[in-house]
């Protein structure tokens, strides 16, 4: 019994380290990768998001205290935010924009998603997202630290939502996204939805709780629409969903 508990504990730590290494710029040694590891480690994605959010909030508070310049603070925090995640989700957003606005058919859109080179719409998408984050961050007057903390957490919870309720589009060669989409137990998402809701209510009241619920109420049909356009979802589209969920909760903080 003790040996089984010890083994389960080691596996839990391994999954947490895998989630941390996958979602941040800091590599971790988790041993040989096995099929299904990513979907199992995804339970900890929002926990990693919470750590990123705590760093963002602490940095914003420190910079604002030192400079009293909300625009500079917002810009620097956005830069660090991108650095901590090594631009992983921005890359997905760029690929998604290139495919979405290509005017091509479904199969061609899928091919564009697999292309690692970014086109005009991809670059514009990155500029839009970075600009939107800076704009929203510098304008949050009520509870900016709370919304900075919540944004990465909710973004990764949104990834669990899409991974649990949508399916990957068919490919001859599966990527990590295809090991994630359609393979997430719904419990993972609902667990973190409850956790985020409780935290939002305790720290920000009913208004913040309603904004959290609204984020997922918007993100779900968006994922459904994208799934229809592409014939399923992949890792790039999930990255787009993460970024949009973060933008939505930051917008909730500002407005």
- pLDDT tens readout for residues 181-207: 999 999 999 999 999 999 999 999 999
Evaluate if residue 172 carries a pLDDT over 60. Answer: no
Write the DSSP assignment of 43-61 as a string of letters: GGHHHHHHHHHHHHHHHHH
- pLDDT tens readout for residues 205-216: 999 999 999 999
What pLDDT score does 245 carry? 98
What pLDDT score does 176 carry? 67
Q: Where are the domains of the chain?
A: 45-254
pTM for this predicted structure: 0.95
Write the DSSP assignment of 136-198 as a string of letters: HHHH--SSHHHHHHHHHHHHHHHHHHHHHH--BPP-SS--HHHHHTT-S-HHHHHHHHHHHHH
- pLDDT tens readout for residues 27-72: 888 777 788 889 999 999 999 999 999 999 999 999 989 988 889 9
User: Is 96:177 a contact under the CB 8 Å cutoff?
Assistant: no
């Amino acid at each position: 019994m003790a040996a089984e508990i010890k083994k389960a504990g080691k596996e839990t730590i391994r999954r947490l380290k895998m989630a941390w290494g996958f979602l941040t710029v800091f590599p971790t040694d988790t041993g040989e990768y096995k099929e299904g590891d990513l979907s199992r480690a995804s339970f900890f994605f929002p926990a990693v998001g919470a750590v990123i959010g705590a760093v963002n909030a602490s940095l914003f508070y420190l910079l604002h205290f030192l400079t009293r310049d909300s625009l500079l603070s917002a810009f620097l925090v956005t830069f660090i935010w991108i650095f901590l995640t090594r631009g992983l989700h921005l890359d997905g957003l760029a690929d998604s924009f290139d495919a979405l606005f290509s005017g091509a058919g479904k199969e061609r859109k899928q091919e564009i998603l697999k292309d690692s080179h970014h086109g005009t719409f991809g670059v514009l998408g990155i500029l839009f997202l970075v600009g939107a984050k800076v704009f929203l961050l510098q304008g949050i007057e009520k509870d900016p630290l709370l919304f900075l903390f919540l944004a990465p957490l909710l973004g990764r919870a949104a990834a669990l939502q899409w991974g649990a309720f949508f399916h990957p589009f068919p490919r001859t060669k599966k990527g990590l996204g295809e090991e994630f989409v359609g393979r997430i137990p719904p419990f993972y998402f609902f667990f973190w939805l409850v956790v985020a809701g409780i935290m939002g209510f305790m720290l920000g009241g009913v208004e913040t709780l309603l904004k959290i619920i609204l984020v997922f109420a918007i993100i779900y049909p968006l994922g459904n629409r994208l799934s229809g356009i592409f014939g399923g979802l992949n890792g790039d589209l999930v990255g787009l969903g993460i970024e949009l969920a973060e933008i939505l909760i930051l917008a909730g903080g500002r407005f």
